[in-house]
């Protein structure tokens, strides 16, 4: 058991625990806070995988933007009664069995693969090589230039669609 493994196990446990709390919390705002903690855990596992850029983007996009957007939406749709409601469907036992089945089937499939037990060693990349290769590939016409432009269109659609849906023309000006 090396120290890296211990660090990984701690982050994984924290992440899994907070993910459980996201699903299990009664208050929505608490769910959102647990969600942020699990995003942080995922970011640190990205860092352990030496994908620094994505660890930071995880912080920037998920915690800095998506989590805040979710919290804003929670505040916009908050209801006085929310905490008294039954938060989970009554048939959750069935779903639990289904989910455990899916999980064990996944594990079974993984374990038949020969590379499953590979030890991941440090890559020894501390400079910009990864990001540079990534940057070049998304702009190379024989690389990923098309997905790159398509994602811009996706974002455009999300922006216009989101704003169009969220803005309500009839009730303008009813600010609290």
Partner 1 sequence: MIPLSWYLIFAALLFAIGLFGVITRKNSVAILMSVELMLNAVNINFLAFWHYHTQNSGLPQVNAMVFVAIVFIAAAAEAAVGLALIISVYRQRKTVVVPELDTLKG
Partner 2 sequence: MGFLNFLFDPISSISTWLSSLLAGWGLSNEIITPILYLIGAGVLGTGALLVTLLLIWAERKIIGRVQDRFGPNRVGPWGIFQSVADMVKIFIKEHIIPSHVDPIPYHLAPILAVSAVLLSLAVVPLSKTTVGTNLNVGLLFIIAVGGLGELAILMAGWGSNNKYAIIAAFRATAQLISYELPMVITLIIPVLLTGSMGMVDLVEAQKIPFILAAPLAALIFFIASIAENGRAPFDLAEAESELVAGFNTEYSGLKFGMFYVADFLRAFTSSIIFVSIFLGGWQGPWAVQIPILGFVYLLIKSVIVWFVGVWIRGSLPRFRIDQMVDINWKILTPVSLILVLLTAFIDKGLGLSSIYLRYIVLFLLNIGVGALVIQLIVKQVKKTEVQVDVGSRERLVARPENMITIHHQE
Partner 3 sequence: MLDQWLYIGIFLGISLFLPAVAIFLASLLSPKKPNAIKNSVYECGVETRGETWVQFHVQYYIYALMFMIFDVETVFLYPFAVAYGQLTLFAVVEAIIFVTILLGGFVYTWKKGNLTWQ
> Which helix H or strand E contains 163, and what residues bound it?
helix 145-166
Which of partner 3, partner 2, partner 1, none does residue 39 bind (CB under 5 to 8 Å by kind)?
Answer: partner 1
Out of 16, 23, 60, 109, the only residue in the binding site for partner 3 (CB under 8 A) is: 60
Q: Does 65 engage in binding with partner 3 (CB under 8 A)?
A: yes
> What is the x/- site pattern for partner 3, positions 87-126, by CB under 8 A?
-----------------------------------xxxxx
Q: Does 29 engage in binding with partner 3 (CB under 8 A)?
A: no
Q: By CB neighbour count within 10 A (0-12 exposed, 13-18 middle, 19+ buried), where does 47 fall?
A: middle
Which of partner 1, partner 2, partner 3, none does residue 29 bind (CB under 5 to 8 Å by kind)?
Answer: partner 2
Which of partner 1, partner 3, partner 2, none does residue 175 bind (CB under 5 to 8 Å by kind)?
Answer: partner 3
- Site residues (vs partner 2, CB under 8 A): 3, 29, 33, 36, 52-53, 55-57, 59-60, 63-65, 67-68, 71-72, 75, 126-128, 131-132
**Is there a contact between 35 and 74 (Cβ–Cβ < 8 Å)?**
no
Of 73, 74, 71, 18, nearest in space to 43 by CA: 18
Q: Measure the CA–CA gap between 71 and 29, rounded to whole angstroms.
A: 7
Q: Measure the CA–CA gap between 65 and 109, rounded to whole angstroms.
A: 35
- DSSP, collapsed to helix, strand or coil, labels residue 113 as coil
């Amino acid at each position: 058991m090396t120290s890296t493994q211990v660090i990984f196990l701690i982050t994984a446990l924290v992440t899994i625990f907070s993910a459980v709390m996201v699903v299990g919390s009664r208050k929505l705002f608490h769910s959102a806070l647990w969600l942020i903690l699990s995003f942080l855990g995922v970011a640190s596992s990205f860092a352990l995988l030496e994908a620094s850029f994505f660890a930071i983007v995880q912080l920037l996009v998920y915690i800095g933007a998506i989590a805040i957007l979710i919290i804003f939406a929670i505040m916009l749709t908050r209801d006085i009664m929310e905490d008294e409601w039954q938060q989970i469907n009554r048939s959750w036992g069935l779903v639990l069995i289904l989910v455990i089945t899916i999980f064990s089937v996944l594990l079974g499939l993984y374990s038949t693969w020969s590379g499953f037990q590979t030890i991941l060693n440090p890559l020894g990349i501390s400079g910009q090589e990864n990001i540079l290769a990534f940057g070049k590939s998304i702009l190379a016409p024989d690389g990923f230039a098309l997905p790159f432009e398509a994602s811009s269109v996706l974002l455009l659609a999300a922006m216009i669609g989101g704003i169009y849906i969220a803005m309500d023309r009839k009730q303008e000006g009813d600010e609290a």
